[in-house]
Amino acid sequence: MRSAWVIGAGGLFGGSLADHLVGHGVRLFTQPIRWQTSAVDDLAAGLAAYASSEPDPVIFWCAGAGVPSSAPSVFAAELETFSAFLHMVRMLPQGQRERLRFFFTSSAGGVYAGSGSAPYDEAAPTRPLGAYGRAKLAMEDDLEAFAAQSGARVVCGRISNLYGPGQNLAKSQGLISVLLMGFLTHRPVQIYVPLDTIRDYLFVDDAAAIAAASVERVASEEPGSCHTKVLCNGYGTTIGALLGTIRLVIGHRPLIVQGASPLASVQTRDLSMRSRRWPELNANAKTSLLDGINRTYMALAGRHFDAIHTAALRQ
């Protein structure tokens, strides 16, 4: 690909993806999006500008403020914005639509949570337990219809538990980063699921590499095709084992408190993953959990102590 537009490049996954693409010689198109006030207008302006400069557009949709604990109104707004954007893309010239490649960032945990058939792959039945997963599936459905109508080649990337440097700690997600920051700030972290709960932890740089490779791979598929790809590490890890690995990195037992939460109702015990779609791309998931946690910790520690130093200088 010559160029790409990463919508949501300010987030954990979008930022890593943008860095990966630039590192591989891809020219990035950028467009500021005022998500809270003028998202549709800004997306329209960005699409017009990008399409005028690139006859073979590549779009990665990595945006989304909603997390499993968000109110249903948040997901309704995201779905409305996403549907409006797809409508705009349908207005591109036919030849350009048929050359378009589109990657959508979906959630494996969100869509598989209630189906009870782990390990989950692309053929596993979907059964979301909350509004978050239902919204992701609705957006996937929109994309499948969009691909069939437009001739674009589409990938729905269902990502497992993503972690890495740059996670937004203001969101109620990202257990690894939350546990590491809890150690740095001496604040215990509440864990409201059993310690034998299994998750697939995927380092963000590996996810970016798989996403980029998926978009290159889909270029050889038929126009109008929509493919699901599970982005995962391929190894299930219990919360207990995760705590042990974090202890190896920080040299101390993580500060945790086990308790109850309403969010437990949308969690399932085993969310182990595997991917059968384009299996040759799975080799990009090469970062070990120990290495990934260490890299995440070093980044968080640097940011934390820089903030403390800056605050001290201001006093």
- Domains annotated for the chain, with CATH where assigned, are 3-164+201-234 (3.40.50.720)
Strand partners of residue 154 = 102, 226
Indicate if the pLDDT at residue 196 is higher than 90. Answer: yes
- Continuous segment of H or E residues that includes residue 110: helix 108-112
Q: Determine the 3-state secondary structure of 190 from DSSP.
A: strand
- Tokens for 105? 């960032």
Query: Both tokens of residue 255?
Result: 């500060």
- Short-list 76, 57, 58, CA closest to 66: 76
Task: Look at strands 161-163 and 201-203 and give their pairing.
Answer: parallel
Q: Which of 56-60, 65-69, 148-152, 260-264 has the lowest mean pLDDT?
A: 260-264
Please give the single-letter amino acid code of residue 148. Answer: A
Summarised one tens digit per residue, pLDDT across range 110-146 is 999 888 889 999 999 999 988 889 999 999 999 999 9
pLDDT at residue 309 is higher than 60: no
Burial class (CB in 10 A: 0-12, 13-18, 19+), 138: middle
Residue carrying the six token digits 């595997």: 274
Length of the chain in terms of residues written:
315
Closest CA to 245 of 303, 297, 193: 297
DSSP 119: S
DSSP H or E segment with residue 227 = strand 226-231
Please report the pLDDT score of residue 82 as a whole number. 95
CA distance 214 to 156: 10
Contact 293, 251 (CB under 8 A): no
Quote the CA–CA distance of 250 and 246 in Å, as a whole number. 6
Model pLDDT for residues 217-234, shown as the tens digit of each residue? 999 999 999 999 999 999
Percent of the chain's residues with pLDDT above 90: 79
Instruction: Give the residue-averaged pLDDT of 231-257.
Output: 96
State the average pLDDT over residues 30-59.
95
Rounded to 5°, angle at Cα 116 from 113 and 120: 75
189: closest CA among 173, 165, 203? Answer: 173
pLDDT tens-digit readout, 56-113: 999 999 998 777 778 888 888 999 999 999 999 999 999 999 999 999 999 999 999 8
Of the candidates 205, 224, 188, which has an alpha carbon nearest to the alpha carbon of residue 287?
Answer: 205
Q: Residue 38: its pLDDT value, please?
A: 92
